[in-house]
Amino acid sequence: MNKKVALQDLGFKDYKETWDYQEALFKNIVDTKVRNRREDAGLETPNHFLFVEHPHVYTLGKSGDINNLLVDEKKLAEKGATFYKINRGGDITYHGPGQVVGYPILDLDNFFTDIHKYLRFLEEMVILTLAEYDLKGQRSEGETGVWLDVGTPFARKICAMGVRASRWVTMHGFALNVNTDLGYFDMMIPCGIKDKAVTSLNVELGQKEVNIEEVKEKLLKHFTVLFEAEIIKERVDV
């Protein structure tokens, strides 16, 4: 089992370009697994972890409701935002500047073959990271992602999650609000969940801006421990 994970930080990158890149990495892993099965090739399957920050974009999962997007194409254009229907689970979400987006593209045969455990580990990675800022991140029953003050009238979501998996290979991932303009969430019903607020790390800490690179380092640290992985930083050439 290959527990090495190639890390690439793509910086500020268009959503569709990043999605296409994810699909290429995903396909390479799946094709390798198919070849191993057919030819008993014994080839090692790679794992990837992409960090990225997107321009304003709304994405709707395959089980999502388009009515959860509350504005039309004209309003989206006025706000400099785009919209895509995509092939992950979950409903609608927003990505934009000041948000840490992570896309683990893993062959879970290298780790464990349990999608629920995979999602719980991603949530735990975020919960442990928030704890380093003295914030109590929590799970909300029946809802993926990470929340604050669950079970109170002040419950608010700080990290959204949505993944796709096929042949135990994952793609898509999580979006942690760090220095995010929360006004963009007013144009949708986040994840299709009404009457619950959204927050970001800088708001919770009362800071104008939180060091995003520091947040990424903390996330990777906890990811490495939870998945018993070895991070290999790679040059970005896409």
Q: For 77-104, what is each residue's pLDDT tens digit?
A: 999 999 998 888 778 889 999 999 999 9
Q: What pLDDT score was predicted for residue 192?
A: 54
CATH of domain 4-233: 3.30.930.10
Q: How confident is the model at residue 158 (pLDDT cuts 50, 70, 90)?
A: very high
Q: Is the dihedral of CA 112, 88, 68, 75 positive or negative?
A: positive
Phi-psi region of 80 (alpha: psi -120 to 50; beta: other; left: phi over 0): left
Mean pLDDT for the stretch of residues 215-225: 98
3-state secondary structure of 192: helix
Size (the chain), residues = 238
Least confident of 44-58, 138-152, 200-214, 216-230: 138-152
Whether 101 contacts 53, CB under 8 Å: yes
Q: Is 89 annotated to bind ligand?
A: yes
d(CA 201, CA 163): 23
Q: What pLDDT score was predicted for residue 22?
A: 96
Q: Is 229 annotated to bind ligand?
A: no
Q: Is 224 annotated to bind ligand?
A: no
Please say if 159 is a catalytic residue: no
Q: Is 32 annotated to bind ligand?
A: no
Q: What pLDDT score was predicted for residue 190?
A: 63
Q: Map out the domains of the chain as residue ranges.
A: 4-233
In the set 191, 215, 220, 229, the catalytic residue is 191
Q: For 136-153, what is each residue's pLDDT tens digit?
A: 999 998 888 999 999 999
